[in-house]
Each structure stands twice: as C-alpha cells, then as structure tokens.
Amino acid sequence: MIPLPAAFLAEAGSWILVVLGVGLLVFIHEAGHFLAAKWAGVKVLAFSLGFGPEMIGFTRGPTRYRIAWVPLGGYVKMSGETELPEGGYAPDDFPAKPVWKRGVIMIAGVVMNALLGFVLFAAAYLAGVDVIPAVVGSVRHGGGAWEAGVRPGDRVVAADGHPVRSFEDLMYATMGGAPVELDLQRGGTAVRVRATPSKEEGAPAPAIGVLPPFGRILEVVPGGAGEKAGFRTGDEVVAVAGVPAGPGDLRDDEVLASAALPESGPLLLTVLREGREIVLPLEPTGTHPLVGIASHRSVIDFVRAGGPGERAGFRPGDVPEAVGGLPVGGSSSFRGAAFRAPPGSGVRVRRGEAAADLPLPDAPAERLELLRDLRFADPESPTAVEVLPPRPPSPGAEPVPGPAAAAGMRTGDRITTVAGTAVTRFRDVRERIAASEGGPVEVAWVGPSGKGKAILAPAPVPTWDFAEAGLLTVIPQERFDAGGAGNLPALGLERCIQTTRQILATVRGIFSGSVDKSNLGGPVAIAQITKRSTESGTGRFLEMLAKLSINLMFLNILPIPLLDGGQLMLLTVEAVTRRPPSEWVVAASQWVGLVLLLGLMVMVTFNDIARIVGS
C-alpha cells in the first residue's frame, strides 16, 4: 500500500467536512418540512437530499429516503402535492389539509434553519472564534471616517446601536451607504461619531474608508533582503522613516507615503526587539516610473476638528503658498515640504485677499498628523496638474526637475492627450502613463502660456515592497467567545439577528445599485469559503455554517414561486379568497419562479467563474 501524504489527507478531510456541514443544513431544512408534514397527518412519498438520479436510498413505510447525485438542495414530496388523483384528494394528501396546517409545513423548513443557526452560533462561541478585531489601523484620507474624526487605534464597539464584534461586522454595518453612528473606544474614553460611507470607483460596496491594523509583527523569509538587512522574525515595526507607523501604514496611508518616503537610499524602519528599539535600513526593492505630475489640488476644503491642523489655525479656503519661505504649488508639494521643513518653520497661506502665517509643529509625528487633518479640494479642471520633482527633496537639497518640468509643463496646465488619446480626468492620465510600462509617452497640454507637447521619459523612483523583501506581517486576531455558558442564548440570538440584518443590507444595496452584484456567490464560492473556515478552527467552521443556515433561511422565505416563501404567498391568497389559485395561476407562477431562480444561478455562477479567473 502506498502511503498518502499528510497534506492530501488534510485537504480531503477539509472537503469532507464541507460536504457534511452543507449537507447538515439541507437535511435540517427538509427535516422541518418532513416532521411538520408528519405532525399534520400528510403522507410523505420521498425525502431527498439532492436532486436528480438517486445515488443511494431505502424505503420505509410510504416514504422513499434517498440521496441524489446533484447536491444543490433537497426536497420533501408529499402526496397530492403535484397532481390531483382520480376521485379527489385523500384525507392524508397535502391539499386536503387546512390552509393553516399547510402553512406550518411550508414555514417549518426556514424555522428549522433559524433554530440551527442559533444552535451553531452558540456552539461556535462556546468553542471560541478567532476574528480580526474592529480596531482601526488606518483611515483613508478624505473618507467618511476621516471626516467624522475616526483615528487609527480607535476600536468600534457598536454601529447604530448594534454590537460590532469584528472588522467584518463593521464592513457590513457601513455597506448600505446610509450614515452610520459609531461608538468608539479611544484609549479609556468613549467617543460617538457619525460617518457617511461612500463608494470608491471599482469598490464592491460603500465604505467609510478604514482598514484594520494589518500587523506590525514581522515574519522574515530566510534568505530574503529583509533578513540580510538584519530583520528577525518577531520584530515589531513601530516607526517608518522616523514616524510612528507600521508596514501597513506605508501602503494604506497616502499622506505618509507621499510625504515621508526618502528621495533615494534606504527606508529606515524602527523595530522593537526584546524591549529595545533598533533602526534598520531597507533598500528599495524596485522602481516605479513617474513623470513628476499630480492632480492640482491647491485649496483646503476641510479641516478635521480637534487636531493639530485646527490648532495651527488652518481653515477651509486657505491656499498654502510657501513653507519655510519656499514656494509650493499644491497639496503634493505642500506635504513634502511641510514634512521635511526644519524645526521652527511655518506656512504662509493665502486667505481671500489677505495672507496668514501659520506654525508647523516640530515633532515629525504631530507634523504628519497635521497633514492628515487637511483635505484639499479637487481642481475645477479634472486634468489640471501640479508639476513636481519625482520625489520631494531632502531638507536643504535643490529639487531635481522631473520630466514634466524639464519639458516645459507648468503647475496649472491642463493635460489634453496622453499617447494620442484624449483624457478627461486625472485617473485617465495616470492609467495612460502606466500603460507605457516606463517607456517614453507623448503628452499634450494647454495652459496660460499656450499649448505644449512633449515626449516624456518617466523617471524611475524607488519603491519598497515588504513581501518582495521577504518581510511578511502577521495579521492580528483576537479570540471572541461567549465568556460563559450563561451568555450563549443571548449571543446566539444576537448573531442570528445581526446576520439577517447583514443579508438585508446586502440585498438592499444590490437593488439600489450601491452594492455590486459580484458580492453574490454561488455553490463554488460557498464551498471555497466554507472550506477555508475549516482551516481556522472549530469555532470558525461552526460560525460559517451558522451564517449559511441563516442565508438558507432568508433565501427560502423570499416570495419566489418554487421556494417556501412563494408557496406561503399562494397559501395566503387562498386564505384571503377562500379558494385555491387556479391551475393556470399556479403553473404561471412556477414558470416565473423557475426563470428567476435560473437567472440567479447563472449570475452567481458567472461571479464564481470570474473570481476563479481573477484569482
């Protein structure tokens, strides 16, 4: 006998758990119909898990118990349910029972799924579930959370009065697009803010613009550039370029990335190792081609309340003109100059017809926080540019003209074409330049001095990719449990209600257009997600099954013919009119239901295929 590899056995075991877990959900749903039918005195002809040809089965009494080859659900076939026997219905036929008993039979499946979800949630939190905590790691500059004053390190404990147990809960709470009231813990202080989600271009759903702390603890790949630079597994990154930050901040904080990265040479990272802070240099892992332009945002339109920006005296409408006596032309040059200016420097802003001199804090961390407090308005012309050096220069160094400046382009000029293609927004400009893959690209512009056209050769600027350097970060997780068996009933009920609210928010968002339909997954996505949950412990697997059970409950209660909700709708019509719907109405409704379900299956299957192709 050839021994099977342990990895193969583990993989096979995970998929067996998925099949058994999903099979349990279907079994419990159909068992609800079956038990209710038995209680109502209805003859059950078949109890089937799956559709199509029978794989295995047996007969006991009048019922054929079977497992079929197509594992996409199941059914309970009751006597008289699909045809009218000659001579009329027998007393144990389904249609012969009162409307209220038939209603109990139809709703019993979703009730069983709700009860199963409750039990599985309770079991999951008895075992404990590892979750990404709802702690803010970074705040997108200018987003809804930023406007509301949410800060890195804040822990979200509730959204619109509903408990937030994980970062996933927070995402669902904000995906509807409506303003949401957040209860935060900031240190030892309770803070309440109101944030308005928005949908970024290309994003699947609205969000308030926060990301979890993606980890400061390093896992160093042997032989990589990080190990050679002196990094060790377990090091905690506490500062980037002298500013308190972690590796994730460098990627997610656009202000930090645009202001603090060095012009050349290594990036200095401060790590905490055995209680000591050590500064280690990380050499660039690659380069990125830039032509030295940015969107021309020159007017401050929002100042966060309570921060160093407000304390320094900045106001909406201010236009920064100089930092430390050196002129700046917009938000990008202002950030670089303000962050690198020597201690004691100030900012001159134009305020209407007057000018004002404002102080800059000396501490780098507070100076960076001031820059985060300021949002600049989009330019009146979407393709107006600010002309920059490739990277903000070091203090005292002469700025090196970038390709755009060397070609004669000036701040305020509007780009009209890139590579011969007309552009109408700055995003198009970036995409066309990126498509050149670092090669020369022809750019045409128009400005106060007239029209211009030049072939620009992008200048390579250094980039730092932590993964490429062999520095991986460990995503922090917390163990969430009930804290005692006495809390399980309330917690199980809370999570059932929370999951239902999340489903409703997703469905509302899809119909309103704020949530992309790609969020819906079919059998492949469900199997993949459930399988991943088996790799994260018993609690996570049980929690996933609980969520699937609530989803199955919700799907079946929808008023779509062929589903339980559609059958309940027909029974309601019969109860009101005191006569069953005509055969024509029933047949037409079933065809409508079939078309709707087939359309849904096609859409979710397409989404599954798109995910596989894109992964």
Instruction: Report long-range pairs for 270-274 (Cβ below 8 Å, ≥24 apart).
Output: 270/237, 270/238, 270/239, 270/240, 270/242, 271/218, 271/231, 271/235, 271/236, 271/237, 271/238, 272/235, 272/236, 272/238, 273/232, 273/234, 273/235, 273/236
Per DSSP, the three-state class of 373 is coil
Beta strand extents in 38-187 (DSSP E only): 44-60, 63-78, 129-131, 138-139, 155-159, 162-163, 180-186
- Write out 541-599 in H/E/C secondary structure: HHHHHHHHHHHHHHHHHCCCCCCHHHHHHHHHHHHHHCCCCCHHHHHHHHHHHHHHHHH
User: Would you tell me how many other CB atoms lie within 10 Å of the CB of residue 443?
Assistant: 25
Q: Provide CB contacts within 8 A for 57, sequence distance 6+.
A: 64, 65, 66, 67
Identify whether 81 is a catalytic site residue.
Answer: no
Give the Cα separation of 406 and 383 in Å (integer): 19
Give the Cα separation of 358 and 322 in Å (integer): 11
β-pairing, 138-139 vs 129-131, is unpaired
DSSP for 96-122, written as a single string: GS-HHHHHHHHHHHHHHHHHHHHHHHH
- Furthest-apart CA pair in the chain: how many Å? 101
Give the Cα separation of 320 and 398 in Å (integer): 20
Give the Cα separation of 375 and 599 in Å (integer): 44
Q: Provide CB contacts within 8 A for 215, sequence distance 6+.
A: 246, 247, 248, 473, 474, 475, 476
Q: Provide CB contacts within 8 A for 497, sequence distance 6+.
A: none
The DSSP code for 201 is: T
Q: Provide CB contacts within 8 A for 380, sequence distance 6+.
A: none
Q: Are 298 and 386 in contact (CB under 8 A)?
A: yes
Give the Cα separation of 404 and 541 in Å (integer): 55
Q: 597 exposed, middle or buried (CB, 10 Å; 0-12, 13-18, 19+)?
A: middle
Write the CA distances from 180 to 176, 198, 352, integer angstroms.
9, 12, 35
Q: 612 exposed, middle or buried (CB, 10 Å; 0-12, 13-18, 19+)?
A: exposed
Q: Could you say which of 30, 81, 386, 543 is catalytic?
A: 30
Give the Cα separation of 404 and 456 in Å (integer): 7
Residue 130: strand pairing partners: 479
Give the Cα separation of 113 and 548 in Å (integer): 9
By annotation, the residues acting in catalysis are 30
